[in-house]
Amino acid sequence: MICTSIPEALAGIPDNATIMVGGFGLVGIPENLILGLREVGVKNLTVISNNCGVDDWGLGLLLENRQIRKMVASYVGENKEFERQYLSGELEVELVPQGTLAERIRAGGAGIPAFYTPAGVGTPIAEGRETRVFEGKEYLLEQGLKADFALVKAWRGDGMGNLQYRRTACNFNPMMAAAGKLTIAEVEIMAAIGDLEPEQVHTPSIYVQRIIQCDNHEKRIERRTVRKGAAL
C-alpha cells in the first residue's frame, strides 16, 4: 500500500510492540518514520536495531521521550542518555555481537528458529546458555529474531513495494524487511512500477506492506573526526 502521510504509514502500531529499525549508525535510518513514532507517542517499545542513534537524532529521540522499554543492539557508544537510562535501571538492554545480531535477524526472516555460532563463547554472553561442540570447537545457540513491525529506509521503491538500497543502507535494512510481520518502507524516490530492473531489487515486494516517499532527508554525521592542519 502506498501511504500519503507518516501517520497513515504507522497506523496500528500499539504500545508494547516489538519494532526493528534499519540503518547503521545514522546512515540508512528511516528518520521520518522515527520522527513519526515520536509524534504518535507509543510506549514500552522493544526496539531491535544496530544502535540507538545519538542523543538528539534517530532512535535517541524515542529514548529521550521514554518510549523505549528494551533495546536489542550491538553498539551503544554514541548515546549518553542510553548510558544513563541503562545504569539507572530505566532501560532493559540486550547486547548482541554485531555479526550475530545480523544473522539472528536474517534467520528470523528466513524462518530459521535458531543456529549455532562461535561468537560469544567463553564470555558473559554465553553464561547459562546452551552450547555444543562441533568438530572440536564450542558453539553458542542463538535464536532467530522477528518483530511485529519493521521500519526500513531505501533509496528507491515502487508502488508494489520493491526496494533498492544504496551503500551503507544495505546494512540491516534488507534483512529486517524480511523479518517484520508488517514492514513499512520509507523511500527517497518513488519509481514507477516496472522501472526497477529485477536485478536492481534488493527487497522484493512480498516483504513490504506499506511504502511512503519522503522528501525530507537529513544527512547527519554520527561522529565528526578531524585533525589539525599542518603548520604554515
State residue 96's pLDDT score: 92
Rg of the chain's alpha carbons, rounded to an integer? 19
**pLDDT band for position 224 (50/70/90)?**
low
Average pLDDT for 73-77: 83
C-alpha cell, 6: 507518516
Q: What percentage of the chain reaches a pLDDT higher than 90?
A: 69
Q: Rounded to the nearest 5°, which phi and psi values hold at 191? A: -85, 155
**pLDDT band for position 223 (50/70/90)?**
low
State residue 225's pLDDT score: 66
Query: For the chain, which domains are there?
Result: 6-213 (3.40.1080.10)
pLDDT at 217 over 90: no
Q: From residue 150, how far is each of 91, 94, 156, 213, 221 by CA, in Å?
A: 21, 18, 17, 16, 24
Average pLDDT for 62-83: 87
Task: Specify the pTM.
Answer: 0.88
State residue 55's pLDDT score: 77
Average pLDDT for 165-188: 93
Lowest mean pLDDT among 73-87, 104-118, 181-195, 212-226: 212-226
Q: What percentage of the chain reaches a pLDDT higher than 70?
A: 94
> What pLDDT, in 10s, does the model give residues 143-169?
999 999 999 999 999 999 999 999 888
Average pLDDT for 15-34: 92
Q: From residue 6, how far is each of 156, 186, 211, 215 by CA, in Å?
A: 17, 9, 10, 12
Average pLDDT for 19-38: 91
State residue 25's pLDDT score: 78
The distance of Cα 9 from the centroid of its chain, to the nearest Å, equals 17
State residue 28's pLDDT score: 86
Using DSSP, how many helices (H) and how many strands (E) does the chain show?
A: 6, 11
State residue 80's pLDDT score: 84
Between CA 201 and CA 197 the distance in angstroms is 7
